[in-house]
Amino acid sequence: MTVIHDSIKKDRDAKMIARDVSVFYGAKKAIDEVSIDIAPDYVTAFIGPSGCGKSTFLRCFNRMNDTIPVAKVTGCIELDGEDIHSSNMDVVQLRARVGMVFQKPNPFPKSIYDNIAYGPKIHGLGEKKADLDAIVERSLTRAGLWGEVKDRLDESGTALSGGQQQRLCIARAIAVDPEVILMDEPASALDPIATAKIEELIDELSGRYAIVIVTHSMQQAARVSQRTAFFHLGKMVEYGPTDDIFTNPIEERTQDYITGRYG
Amino acid sequence: MSSTPATIHDAHGGPAADAGTSVIGSFGHTRTPEFEKRLQKRYRKERNFKRMGQGAILFSVAVLIFLLGNMLINGVGGFQRAELAVPIDFPESGLVGDETSLTASSAVQVLELQGLPEIVQFYAEEALGEEGAAQLSRDAWRDVAAALQGDPSLIERTHTFNLAASSDLASGLSGEGSAEMQALAQRLEERGVLSEKFDGGFLSRSDATSPQQVGIWGALKGSILTMIITLALAFPVGVLSALYLEEYAPRNRWTDLIEVSINNLAAVPSIIFGLLGLAVFLTIFPNFRSAPLIGGLTLALMTMPVIVISGRNAIKAVPPSIRDGALAVGASPLQVVFHHVLPLALPGMLTGTIIGMARALGETAPLLLIGMRAFVATPPDGFTSPATVLPVQIFLWSDEIDRGFVERTSAAIVILLLFLLLMNSFAIYLRNKFEKTW
């Protein structure tokens, strides 16, 4: 049984909603009938112990689970009221509207410029070189990387440091101007300083984009998010304002996890 | 979770609180003679392993040097031939001709009608004696005619031609053959009219019955044409198969079956492919016996599985995170393949292609079966004219009785190895060009 705090039931106009979503890996049920509303102007954090299915659930929102042959998703997910599994929602278009940043920085082995320009190019957003240049500069600026790389846009994206690579990946995601950004433990492979920069960046980006972040660090969830959902064993246990989840959880399991009794 | 740090704290903090010596005491188990002995043993094993590896490398390098050295030493002789010097005084001979008539296409017939064969014979007897002139090839005048065609001004003066000696005389010169010939060769050599000269024509002539007249160009051109067909067919088909099997094909019993079949195909002896070529291609194209087209098709069948297997491995080695990254910005599966997977897998695919093509270049058995062992005295005009290839030419020459063919065979092997080297260097250049790091 999922507990949803009363205070967020007032939230209106969810950007994305999931209803009774289950994910199966073959016969194994990794996510069990989860329903959630993602608010457009908040950062929503998914927390929970390893293997609880929070990353799997995140990947449902841009249909990245399609790439895993054995994975099967049931239930309904809507983006602005449109079913993302319906036939008139193209998966390529969906991923242009719902961007994703992965756990391990994965820049393309191309130049910094091409890393950013790739998305806009394949979607035909920048017909002219000047348009692309503008997109690259804007995206890198928003990702807080422009000052560090503006003189070496021709260098390979893989030559950057880990933290810079992750910000490059965030810049790559925002270059196609998405409405939602999914982040799958974006700072778990980074050192504390790089992590702080990423968190700062998430803070700056919130409001402009709906952000959903999966994290195993409760401090991180508390620092960057306004809404937190706690997952355990494939079920969403509790969902509410971050402050309430951390200071005043309703469910005992949430309380146990937050106080470090397991996980 | 909470008990582990406490234990570490005890291990460090406890002894450190005592006197300094007991700090060493806490590492005491690594200072025992037994431990030292085990350590020595480990290092010894590592040294031995390193030596074994070095020995293996040394052995293979030695074998390679022996092989190449042997070929080169024997092959040098193959690039030379015994030639007789014959001065011909054209103004005196009464041969007429000018630039236009000598460069015309009928020049050889005109010269023959004017008695060039007899003129060459006459001057040869004058320079070499009757016995020596008899060792001049009967077709030597054709070389003279060719020289006149190349440089018509020769007809206005005396010119010394180096004409191929007969193979009997050539073996006499190298100290083999009959005593009679050896004596003649010695006499002619002392007079300075017989010597071993670099034979540039070896690279531009084709197969012949006499080792003095053979050349490698016909076989080399045949090999090049065959390789073009093989590459043009095997590379795209192999790469597309690999891409489809890795990126698109569903994992089921059929794809498993295809995978097993491809692996088996790569292990099928090459002569079986020759039989296949004979049974299938020559039935469809009966007029193209001995043609590079059929040879290339047959070798392409043989090369394709190698390219598919190496291609699939190269695709598997592309990190999934790159695919995810491209998909997440909205690339379609086709764009993921062509913008990201293929460029990253290409170096590995090229490596497989090099291996497959090198094997195809050296292949003899299947080509024997589809008739590429015929005696072909003219270089092939195109993909459908009769041809032979380098390894088959080597095989044919090594089978000849005439001693002169031994060195020619080595020379042909040197050419084959050089061709292989050239091909591989080009492929390695391409591979390094496309190689990317991530």
Residues A220, A36 contacting (CB under 8 angstroms): no
**What distance in Å separates the CA atoms of residue B29 and residue B33, rounded to the nearest whole number?**
10
What is the torsional sign of CA B225, B227, B232, B233?
A: positive
What are the tens digits of pLDDT across the range B367-424?
998 888 888 888 898 898 889 999 999 999 998 888 788 888 989 999 999 888 888 8
Copy the structure tokens of residue B296: 């290339």
- The residue among B329, B335, B338, B438 with the most chain A CBs within 10 A of its CB, best to mutate, is B329
Rounded to whole angstroms, the Cα distance separating B255 from B131 reads: 74
Nearest by CB: A122 against B319, B328, B330:
B330
Q: Most confidently modeled of B69-83, B172-186, B332-346?
A: B332-346
Strand A71-79 with A82-83, pairing:
antiparallel
The predicted pLDDT at position B308 comes to 95
Residue A43: φ, ψ to 5°: -95, 125
| Chain A residues whose beta carbon lies within 8 Å of the beta carbon of residue B328 | 62, 64, 95, 99-102, 173
B330 vs chain A: nearest CA distance in angstroms? 5
Q: Angle CA(A223)–CA(A227)–CA(A230) in degrees, nearest 5?
A: 95
pLDDT at B8: 43
What confidence score (pLDDT) does residue B27 get? 64
For A105, the closest chain B residue by CA position comes to B321
Residues of chain B whose beta carbon is less than 8 angstroms from a beta carbon of chain A are 250-251, 319, 321-332, 335, 339-340, 344, 436-438
Answer yes or no: is pLDDT of B117 > 90. Answer: no
Burial label for B258, CB within 10 Å (0-12, 13-18, 19+), is middle
Q: Checking DSSP bridges between strand A71-79 and strand A16-25, what pairing results, if any?
A: antiparallel
| Residue B10 confidence (pLDDT) above 60 | no
**Beta-carbon separation of B327 and A95 below 8 A:** yes
Given CA atoms B237, B239, B244, B246 in this order, what sign does their dihedral have? positive
B436 to A109: CB separation less than 8 angstroms, yes or no: yes
pLDDT for B25 = 52
Tell me, what DSSP letter sits at residue B336?
I
The predicted-structure confidence for B68-82, as pLDDT tens digits, reads as follows: 898 888 888 888 888
pLDDT band, residue A69 (cuts 50/70/90): confident
Q: Is the pLDDT of residue B11 over 50?
A: no
Residue-averaged pLDDT of chain B: 85
Q: A262 falls in which pLDDT band (50, 70, 90)?
A: low
Q: What is the DSSP letter of B153?
A: G
The mean per-residue pLDDT over the stretch A180-202 comes to 91
3-class DSSP state of B86: strand
Minimal CA separation from B373 to chain A, in Å:
49
Q: Tell me which residue in B327, B329, B436 faces A176 most closely, judged by beta carbons.
A: B329
Task: Please state, in angstroms and as integers, the Cα–Cα distance from residue B96 to each residue in B86, B99, B102, B120, B347, following that order.
Answer: 20, 11, 9, 15, 62
d(Cα B324, Cα A74) in Å, to the nearest integer? 22
**Which residues in chain B touch residue A95, judged by CB atoms under 8 angstroms apart?**
327-330
- B-chain residues near A165 (CB < 8 A): none
Which value does ipTM take for this structure? 0.90
Distance from CA of B341 to the nearest CA of A (A): 11
Looking at A186-200, B35-49, B130-144, B381-395, which range is the least confident one? B130-144
Contact: B325, A176; criterion CB under 8 Å: no
- Other CB atoms within a 10 A radius of the CB of residue B56 amount to 10
CA dist list (Å): B244 to A122, A224, B66, B297, B342: 22, 43, 44, 22, 12
Q: pLDDT for A125-162, tens place per residue?
A: 877 889 999 999 999 998 889 999 999 999 999 999 99
Q: How many CB atoms lie within 10 A of CB A208?
A: 13
The residue behind tokens 């998703």 is A73
B1 Cα to chain A: minimum distance (Å): 10
Tell me the C-alpha distance between B67 and B52, whole Å: 23
pLDDT in tens, A100-112: 999 999 999 999 9
At B163, the pLDDT band (50, 70, 90 cuts) reads: confident
Give the nearest partner residue to A100 out of B250, B319, B328, using CB atoms: B328
Report the gap between the CA of A7 and the closest CA in chain B (Å): 33
Please name which of A149, A147, A116, A119 lies closest in space to residue A133, comparing C-alpha atoms.
A116
pLDDT digits (tens, 9 = 90+) for B210-254: 888 889 999 999 999 999 999 999 999 999 999 999 988 888 899
Residue in the block written with tokens 């393949």: B337
Report the alpha-carbon distance of residue B217 to residue B214 in Å, rounded.
Answer: 9
Percentage of chain B beyond pLDDT 90 is: 37
Residue B378 Cα distances to A72, A241, B217, B381, B419, angstroms: 66, 88, 9, 9, 20
User: Between the CA of residue B77 and those of A96, B11, B213, B409, B414, what are the distances in Å?
Assistant: 69, 78, 14, 10, 11
Distance CA B432, CA A123 (A): 31
Q: CB pairs below 8 Å between A and B: how many?
A: 72
Q: What does the pLDDT read at residue A1?
A: 64
Instruction: Give residue B208's pLDDT.
Output: 85
Q: What is the pLDDT of residues A7-30, one digit of tens each?
A: 777 666 789 999 999 999 988 999
Residue closest to A3 by CA, chosen among A236, A259, A256: A236
Instruction: Answer yes or no: do B323 and A123 touch at CB < 8 A.
Output: no
Ranges A30-39, B17-26, B337-346, B358-367: which has the least confidence:
B17-26
Q: Do B324 and A64 touch (CB under 8 A)?
A: yes
The residue among A22, A53, A25, A3 whose CA lies nearest residue A233 is A53
**Measuring CA to CA, how many Å separate A65 from each of A45, A57, A68, A74, B285?**
20, 9, 5, 12, 51
Of B184, B196, B189, B191, nearest in space to B132 by CA: B184
DSSP bridge partners of A37: A17
Name the average pLDDT for chain A. 90
Q: Which residue stretches of A84-191 are H helix? A: 91-97, 112-122, 129-142, 146-149, 162-175
Contacting residues for A236 by C-beta, under 8 A, at least 6 apart: A2, A34, A35, A36, A229, A230
Reply yes or no on whether the pLDDT at B193 is more than 60.
yes
Which residues of chain A does B323 touch, with a Cβ-Cβ cutoff of 8 Å? Answer: 67
Q: Is the pLDDT of residue A76 over 80?
A: yes
Show residues of chain B in contact with A119, CB under 8 Å: 329-331
Specify which residues A77 forms β-bridges with. A18
Chain B residues with CB inside 8 Å of A102's CB?
321, 324-325, 328
